[in-house]
Structure formats: structure tokens, C-alpha cells
Chains A and B, each alone.
Chain A
Amino acid sequence: MRVAILCSSPYSETGCAVTARLAQLGYVPVGAMTLPSWDRRTLLRKVGQWGLRDSLQYAVAKLSPGKSTIQNQIRNPYLESALRHGDGVFRSVREVARAYGFPVVTCSDQNSPRAVAQLGQWSPDLAIFTGGNILRDQALNVPRLGILNAHLALVPEIRGMSGPEWSLLCGVPLGITIHFMDSGIDTGPILLRREFAGADGCDSLADVRNKMIAEGIELIAEAVAGLDRGTIPAVPQADREKDRQFFVTHEQLQAVAARRLKENQSNPVGDRSNG
């Protein structure tokens, strides 16, 4: 199975962990394609997501790895097993590539003719999307089987952004869906759809999200292996046309979602099926 990786940045921790995990399982990528690490938009997004202090700390930790512990170098502690490599950890897709011997290419847009041509040269059976642009048909059609995405909510109920938050706000069980990407937002055929049972031990929404990302990576590995063996069917979504796309939650709704998480944890047998 020839697998390619699409990342939002060479330093994307999720991208790095997916790549490393697949390589550990014997699916060494034929290539990884990333967006540039430091453009203004990415920088603003990171500052917006993490805050200025966290972003600076992260940048400092990256620039001086010798002074940091492994735990300090990993933002998502649940990815440690995937990222651990000998005495250290993989901090970029390039480091994984050096360890396993595959090329990494940087492009400004994953839909650009240059990016599509590069992907075509690798002639992958499958690509794994871990972040970047909204992919258009010219990129989606290159891998023989398609491009896989791990979505942090149950599809078709919750499509789009902020999956865990919207699941909590809408009373839909937390879950992860592995699906092929198509021209819609999370509307492609589904390979795996699992409810997420690990929220009870989490102390925050960020913690839930981190744990779901780690579980999502395991599900991607399971899906890749299943596709390789031909044991997992891709099931088209029946209500593809229904507009169930969600968008990034405002911080006020994030706070409500966090409270719902706590309520669910303190009332685990309560009715969560009001969706």
C-alpha cells in the first residue's frame, strides 16, 4: 500500500504522529507534503489558538530542544508513544522522513498544479489528510483509493469544525469518524465510525480533544490496514446533501460545551441521547 501524507505544517504534531505511527506499522509513506511552517496566517492562527505566551513557549522549546524534557516538547501528551523515537521524540515530519527515508515537499497550496503533479509522481494508493487546505477535485482524485480524514465527531450528525464542542452542545455522543474526503465538507464515504468513551478521565475540552486525536490516529492506522487487506468497506453517506456543517465555536459556546462535559462526567448514566 503506497501511502502519502498531507500536513498543515512540517511541525504539525498530529501530522508527525500519524506519519510516525504508520511508519512504525510498516506503512512507510511514499512522501509527505506540507504547507510552509511560518507564514503570517499560520502564525496568527497559532497565536489565536494557543495565546501569545504558549506560542512563544512552544517556539522557544523548538529552538532549544536540549533544555526541554520530552513531555515539554509534546503539546498533546497522548501522542507520546507515537512520537517517541529512541531517546527523543519526533518534532517534525522531516525528522520522521529522515528516520524512515521518504521525501518531504513543501507547497503553498495543496491544490496547486505543482502540488498535484508532485502527488501524482508518488502515485499513492491512499493519502492521509492531517490538515491544510480544503482539497479540490484535482487533488482528491490523485490517490487511487482516495484521501482519508479523521473527523473528531460522528458523521453525518456533526460535520465541519469544532466537532467535540458541537457534539456536547447538540447532545450527540462524542465520536470519531474515518472517512474518504470528497468535494463536500466531511460528506465522503465512511470507513470507521466509533463513539469515544475516553472523556470521563479528561479534565478539560482540550484534554478530550487531545485524547480523541490520539484515538483518531489509531483508527487511521486501523483503516489503512483494513483497506490494505480489503476488509473495510467504504459506506457512502445517505444524507450527503443535508447541511450539517458546523463552524468554529465562539468562546462563549466553548465554555458551555466545557460545562456540559463536566455535567456528563458527573452524571455518566444520565440521558445523553437527546440528539
Chain B
Amino acid sequence: MSSPESRSNRNFVTTKTARVLSEAAGLLRAPQRVIPLFSKLASDELRRTFEHRHLYSYVSATIPTANALRSVVDWILRAQRPDGGIAAYYGLLTGYSESYPEVTGYIIPTLYDFGRLTGDLVARHAAYLATDWLLSLQMPSGAFPGGLHASDGGPDNNARPSVFNTGQILQGLVRAHTEMQAKTRNAKILKSAVAAGDWLAAIQQADGSWTGPAAYQGTAHTYYSMVSWALAQLAAESGDPRHAAAADRNIDWVLLHVQPSGWIGGINLRGHPAYLHFIAYVIQGTLECGILRRRDDAIQAAAKPAWVLLRKFETHKRLLGTYEPDFRGGQQFACLTGNAQMSSIWLRLFELTGDPRYLNAALKMNEMLKQLLPVKGRRGVVGGVAGSYPIWGAYQPMRFISWGCKFLADALMLEQRLTREFETKFETKFITKLEASGCA
């Protein structure tokens, strides 16, 4: 009889094999994809050869931030399916995926932010459609389903409620609620958001974690701090103390995993390593929830690993795609989504502490990410953020992913706002602030 661990590993291998076969079949179905595929493989190989291991070298910006932002948001808009959901990815071998409820949810705030920044009505309309689609997916319990949406658009009887996806979708619902003018629709969105929040609070464990069948791999994960962030956002809107308490309880549990090195353990992913994307999730959720709930302990717990990663980035000119506990070594590819998330985290910490070193690192990171955006190619390629650099790296290989575009768009919008403030009115009370923030 095999152990759960070995069963899980076997399942992982089977899934991986199935994915490789499906991707290969995708290329057979659409052989014209071979040109962009080889073009991307060749360009990444060339870049790697000339720039060695450094992504951020001494190259000046070739794409202005506003243009890069437009380009990644356009990628997201093109990835919106007729049902209103947004595809998870564009595979170089398989084309667009089905709509992905989780990502559709947390892309909504990005679309509204972009709409506000640029006055773009198309982005606002896309957010509206995405919200409608998500409302149609909610389960009677208030939960939202995990995984990709069924390709035929019909109800997916195999769909299972997912804590993480519900949390991520909740972010979108809360934002849609704050943006919506029409009272009837607004009440509908809030009702849906509260139902999702109630479900999350109801199935939370006494220790503040989420485990069981609605948790990924059935176990608790610290990157569910993103769920706490969503609950804290909901609490600010609904005023319901149960949602705030659930957010606080989970953050308390996350803080139990903080190591002296700054590493926050408990990512608990069986079968694959701790990608930077998940590490950044832990940090981002803890930080944002800490800000909303005015919890200095959470902010400090997030600031420490963010600082460790900043030093690594500045010293080595890149971040690894994965890290072992306590930030010991990892895999050599770059997880671009994680990089974009770290940029946003550094920018938020700059906003919070006034320490311009965070801004400096984020500017460099964004520069590197902008340089990697394809400026030509098919609609699923141009302006897209690849899962990995090089494209054959371990995280979402051969794919341009919608959440990578979302996090880069967030980072670029934050960069624009904060650099404008820094250049015009920001008075750096640096040393004093640094002492106060405890970073020094």
C-alpha cells in the first residue's frame, strides 16, 4: 500500500506527463504555432548567451512604462473569453486556455485601476463582464470553484469549492462593489462577496488556517494570506467583524511560521518547489492584510523577507525561480510573475516606510520585466508575461500567463504613481523613517 506522499508524487508525475502530451498534441493541431515557438526559444537563448545570468544588466529602458502598461493590459483584454472570464494562459503549443475563475477575480482590480489611471472605458467594461461571469459561477454555499472553467461553458458538475480561488475572486468582487454605481447591481455584488466571506469564515480551522478538501492538496498553506487580505478588504466594505476576525486569525497562524532568517515557512506544496510566485504571495498577503488591519507585526514579518530578497536581487541582479527554506539556493530560471509581485511589494514598502531603496529595486525589476515583453508576434504573445525566463524554465513553461500580466500591470501602475510623487513632493525623511521602520 503506497503512502499518501508517494501517491501524491505519482499523481504529480501523471499530471505532468498528461500535460506534456496535451501540449504536443496542441502543436499538431495548429502547426503554424511552430514559428512563434522557435522564435521565442531562440530569442531567450540568445539573450541568455549575451547577458549571462543577469537579467537586469546595464541596458537602458527601451519601452516607456506607460507603453509597457498599455501592452500588458491589452494582452489581458485579448485574453478575455466570450463568456467574460479571462484565460489562464496562452500556450505557445496550445493557444489560449479556458477561462480561469481565480485569475479573472483578482484581475478585476487591475482593470479598474487601469481604467482610473488612463480613462480607458474598455478596461472598465472588461471588469464589468468579468464580474458578471464570476457571479454566475458562485456555488450555493457562497464558495467559488477551483480550476479552469469547463470548456463547453456549461455547469461543471465536477467543480469543487476552493478556499484560495474564493479568496482571490473575493478581491475582485469587493473592488467591483466599490466601483459600481447602479444600486441593484451593487447590492447583488456585495451579497455575493459577503456570502463568499461567510463561507471562508465558516470553514476556517480554529487555528486560523484552512485545510480539508477545499484547500489545495488538502493541507494548510501560508500563501493563503492572500485570502486574509481579501477578507480584510471585505471587512472594510461590509463592516462585518467576523470577516475581520477571520483575516486576523489566519495572519496569526501565518506569523507562527516566521523564521529568524525572515523566511515564512508553511507554503506546503507537495510535488513542486516553492516558486517565487508563492513566496511572494505569502509576503504580499501578509503585508497587505497587515496594512488594512493596522498590524505592525504582520507588516514587519512581510518586510523582512522582502528585504532579504531585495538584497539578493541587488547583489546578484536577479532572483531565482525557486528558493529553499531560509532563502538557501534554488533553481536558476526566473519566475517572472514572482518578480513582478516582488516589485509591487517593494513599492508598497517604499510607500509605507519612505525608504527609497525599495523604489530603486522596483524600478530595476520593472525595467528588466519591460525588456522581456515581446513587442511583436501573435495576439497571445505580444505584450505577454511568460511564466519563466527562459521560456522553458520550470514555472508554467512555454506559456504567457494572465496573472503574470496582472502583477506586472499592478507594479507598473504603482511605479508610475510613486515615482511621480517622489519626483514632485516627496520629502525623504529617510534616516528617521528607516530607524522607525526597523529596517535599519
Q: A residues bordering B, Cβ < 8 Å?
A: 44-45, 47-49, 157, 166, 169-172, 242-253, 256, 259, 274-275
Contact = CB atoms under 8 A, between A and B. Distances in A.
Contacts of A248: 314
A250 B58 CA distance: 10
Given A246-B357, A256-B423, 14 more contacts: A47-B58, A48-B58, A169-B356, A170-B428, A171-B430, A243-B307, A244-B440, A247-B314, A250-B360, A250-B363, A252-B419, A253-B356, A275-B430, A275-B431
A275 B427 CA distance: 10
Interface string B360-401: 110110010000000000000000000000000000000000
A157 B60 CA distance: 29
A253 B431 contact: no
B440 A243 contact: yes
Nearest to B58: A48
A251 B427 contact: no
B431 A170 contact: yes
Given A242-B440, A274-B428, A275-B430, A253 B359 contact: yes
B163 to A, nearest CB: 36
Interface residues of B, number: 29
B357 A274 contact: no
B422 interface: yes
A158 B374 CA distance: 38
B57 A247 contact: no
A274 B315 CA distance: 29
A23 to B, nearest CB: 34
A150 B311 CA distance: 23
17 contacts: A45-B58, A47-B58, A48-B59, A169-B356, A171-B428, A172-B431, A243-B307, A243-B440, A246-B357, A247-B314, A251-B61, A253-B359, A253-B363, A274-B427, A275-B428, A275-B429, A275-B432
A193 to B, nearest CB: 16
Contacts of B159: none
B439 interface: yes
A45 B123 CA distance: 41
B167 to A, nearest CB: 33
Contacts of A245: 311
Contact of A243 (B60, B429, B439): B439
Interface of B: 57-61, 307, 311, 314-315, 356-357, 359-361, 363-364, 367, 419, 422-423, 427-432, 434, 439-440
B356 A252 contact: no
B294 to A, nearest CB: 25
Contact of B363 (A172, A243, A244, A252): A252
A48 B57 contact: yes
Contacts of A251: 60-61
Contacts of B363: 250, 252-253
B418 to A, nearest CB: 11
Contacts of A48: 57-59
A172 to B, nearest CB: 7
Nearest to B60: A251
Contacts of B428: 169-171, 274-275
Given A169-B428, A274-B428, A249 B360 contact: yes
B293 to A, nearest CB: 27
A244 B439 CA distance: 9
Nearest to A51: B60
Contacts of A259: 423
Name the residue in B307, B359, B431 with the highest tally of chain A Cβ atoms < 10 Å from its Cβ: B431
Contacts of B360: 247, 249-250, 253
A256 B359 CA distance: 12
Contacts of B357: 246-247
Nearest to A260: B428
A47 B59 CA distance: 10
Contacts of A157: 431
Contact of B361 (A169, A170, A247): A247
A250 B427 contact: no
B429 A274 contact: yes
A253 B363 CA distance: 9
A169 B423 CA distance: 10
Contacts of B419: 252
B212 to A, nearest CB: 41
Contacts of B61: 251
Nearest to A242: B440
B430 A256 contact: no
Nearest to A246: B357
A49 B60 CA distance: 11
Nearest to B364: A250
A8 to B, nearest CB: 16
Contacts of A45: 58
Given A157-B431, A247-B314, A170 B57 contact: no
Nearest to B355: A170
Nearest to A239: B440
A159 B236 CA distance: 41
Contacts of A256: 422-423
A170 B364 CA distance: 19
Name the residue in B60, B356, B419, B423 with the highest tally of chain A Cβ atoms < 10 Å from its Cβ: B356
Contacts of B314: 247-248
A-B pairs, 6 with minimum CB distance = A48-B58, A170-B430, A247-B314, A250-B363, A242-B440, A275-B431
A45 to B, nearest CB: 7
Nearest to A259: B423
A83 to B, nearest CB: 27
